Amino acid sequence: MVKPFDPEEGWPFDEQTERECPLGRTLEDYTLTGKLRHFHNSFDSSLRAILQDCLYRIDDQEGVITFQILCPNETVYKRLLKNREKVRRSVGIVGEIDYYALCIERDSMHCQVLDMNSYKGGV
Protein backbone atom coordinates (compact mmCIF):
# COMPACT_ATOMS: atom_id res chain seq x y z
CA MET A 1 0.00 0.00 0.00
CA VAL A 2 1.26 3.48 -0.77
CA LYS A 3 1.45 5.34 2.54
CA PRO A 4 1.30 9.13 2.60
CA PHE A 5 4.09 11.04 4.29
CA ASP A 6 3.25 11.96 7.89
CA PRO A 7 5.61 14.59 9.34
CA GLU A 8 4.69 13.52 12.89
CA GLU A 9 6.27 10.12 12.24
CA GLY A 10 9.54 11.81 11.36
CA TRP A 11 11.35 12.23 8.09
CA PRO A 12 11.71 9.11 5.94
CA PHE A 13 15.45 9.77 5.75
CA ASP A 14 18.07 10.97 8.20
CA GLU A 15 21.75 11.91 8.24
CA GLN A 16 22.87 8.27 8.38
CA THR A 17 20.72 7.41 5.36
CA GLU A 18 22.21 10.33 3.45
CA ARG A 19 25.75 9.11 4.22
CA GLU A 20 24.87 5.59 3.08
CA CYS A 21 23.13 6.84 -0.08
CA PRO A 22 25.59 9.26 -1.72
CA LEU A 23 23.21 10.11 -4.54
CA GLY A 24 21.00 11.85 -1.99
CA ARG A 25 17.25 11.69 -1.72
CA THR A 26 14.73 14.43 -1.65
CA LEU A 27 11.29 14.41 -0.11
CA GLU A 28 9.86 14.04 -3.62
CA ASP A 29 11.46 10.59 -3.86
CA TYR A 30 9.04 9.46 -1.14
CA THR A 31 5.88 11.02 -2.57
CA LEU A 32 3.54 9.36 -5.04
CA THR A 33 4.48 11.97 -7.65
CA GLY A 34 8.15 11.16 -7.21
CA LYS A 35 7.49 7.43 -7.39
CA LEU A 36 5.44 7.86 -10.59
CA ARG A 37 8.23 9.96 -12.10
CA HIS A 38 10.77 7.26 -11.20
CA PHE A 39 8.42 4.60 -12.68
CA HIS A 40 8.14 6.59 -15.90
CA ASN A 41 11.91 7.19 -16.13
CA SER A 42 12.71 3.49 -15.60
CA PHE A 43 11.73 2.72 -19.21
CA ASP A 44 13.60 3.26 -22.44
CA SER A 45 12.65 6.25 -24.58
CA SER A 46 10.17 4.37 -26.79
CA LEU A 47 8.08 3.14 -23.85
CA ARG A 48 8.36 6.53 -22.10
CA ALA A 49 6.89 8.13 -25.23
CA ILE A 50 3.98 5.68 -25.09
CA LEU A 51 3.42 6.17 -21.34
CA GLN A 52 3.52 9.97 -21.42
CA ASP A 53 -0.05 10.10 -22.79
CA CYS A 54 -1.42 7.66 -20.20
CA LEU A 55 -3.13 8.46 -16.92
CA TYR A 56 -2.47 6.49 -13.73
CA ARG A 57 -4.79 5.47 -10.93
CA ILE A 58 -4.34 3.41 -7.80
CA ASP A 59 -7.47 1.48 -6.89
CA ASP A 60 -7.82 0.02 -3.39
CA GLN A 61 -10.74 -2.37 -3.04
CA GLU A 62 -10.88 -4.08 0.36
CA GLY A 63 -7.10 -4.06 0.71
CA VAL A 64 -6.35 -5.32 -2.81
CA ILE A 65 -4.29 -2.65 -4.54
CA THR A 66 -4.39 -2.33 -8.32
CA PHE A 67 -2.24 0.13 -10.27
CA GLN A 68 -4.22 1.11 -13.35
CA ILE A 69 -2.67 2.55 -16.48
CA LEU A 70 -5.38 4.34 -18.45
CA CYS A 71 -4.48 4.29 -22.14
CA PRO A 72 -5.70 7.11 -24.42
CA ASN A 73 -6.29 4.89 -27.47
CA GLU A 74 -6.21 1.34 -28.81
CA THR A 75 -2.68 1.66 -30.24
CA VAL A 76 -1.14 2.60 -26.89
CA TYR A 77 -3.15 -0.15 -25.17
CA LYS A 78 -1.88 -2.82 -27.59
CA ARG A 79 1.74 -1.67 -27.34
CA LEU A 80 1.66 -1.73 -23.55
CA LEU A 81 -0.02 -5.12 -23.57
CA LYS A 82 2.78 -6.37 -25.82
CA ASN A 83 5.37 -4.97 -23.34
CA ARG A 84 3.49 -6.02 -20.19
CA GLU A 85 6.48 -7.88 -18.71
CA LYS A 86 8.61 -4.70 -18.80
CA VAL A 87 5.75 -2.81 -17.19
CA ARG A 88 5.30 -5.49 -14.51
CA ARG A 89 8.95 -5.33 -13.50
CA SER A 90 8.73 -1.55 -12.95
CA VAL A 91 5.32 -1.25 -11.28
CA GLY A 92 6.83 -2.19 -7.90
CA ILE A 93 8.54 1.21 -7.82
CA VAL A 94 5.17 2.83 -7.13
CA GLY A 95 4.50 0.84 -3.95
CA GLU A 96 3.19 -2.48 -2.70
CA ILE A 97 0.92 -3.34 -5.62
CA ASP A 98 -1.04 -6.62 -5.88
CA TYR A 99 -2.17 -6.27 -9.49
CA TYR A 100 -1.71 -3.89 -12.36
CA ALA A 101 -4.19 -3.23 -15.12
CA LEU A 102 -4.00 -1.82 -18.61
CA CYS A 103 -7.27 0.00 -19.28
CA ILE A 104 -8.95 1.58 -22.27
CA GLU A 105 -12.29 3.29 -22.75
CA ARG A 106 -14.27 1.44 -25.41
CA ASP A 107 -18.04 1.28 -24.97
CA SER A 108 -17.22 1.20 -21.27
CA MET A 109 -13.98 0.96 -19.29
CA HIS A 110 -12.18 -2.26 -20.29
CA CYS A 111 -9.23 -3.37 -18.13
CA GLN A 112 -6.82 -6.25 -18.61
CA VAL A 113 -5.84 -7.06 -15.01
CA LEU A 114 -2.43 -8.72 -14.63
CA ASP A 115 -0.85 -10.35 -11.58
CA MET A 116 2.28 -8.77 -10.08
CA ASN A 117 3.72 -12.05 -8.77
CA SER A 118 4.49 -13.85 -11.99
CA TYR A 119 4.15 -13.61 -15.70
CA LYS A 120 1.77 -16.24 -16.98
CA GLY A 121 1.85 -15.32 -20.66
CA GLY A 122 -1.10 -15.00 -22.97
CA VAL A 123 -3.73 -12.31 -22.90
Domains of the chain by residue range: 12-115
| pTM for this entry | 0.69
Q: Cα-Cα-Cα-Cα dihedral of 95, 101, 104, 108, to 10°?
A: -110
Determine how β-strand 109-115 pairs with β-strand 64-71. unpaired
Compute the average pLDDT of residues 97-112. Answer: 89
Average of per-residue pLDDT across 44-70 = 89
Task: Return the pLDDT at 21.
Answer: 53
Q: What is the residue-averaged pLDDT of the chain? A: 78
User: What value does the mean pLDDT take over residues 33-44?
Assistant: 81
Checking if the pLDDT of 97 tops 70, the result is: yes
Query: Which residue, among 92, 77, 123, 75, has the nearest Cα to 2 in the 3D structure?
Result: 92
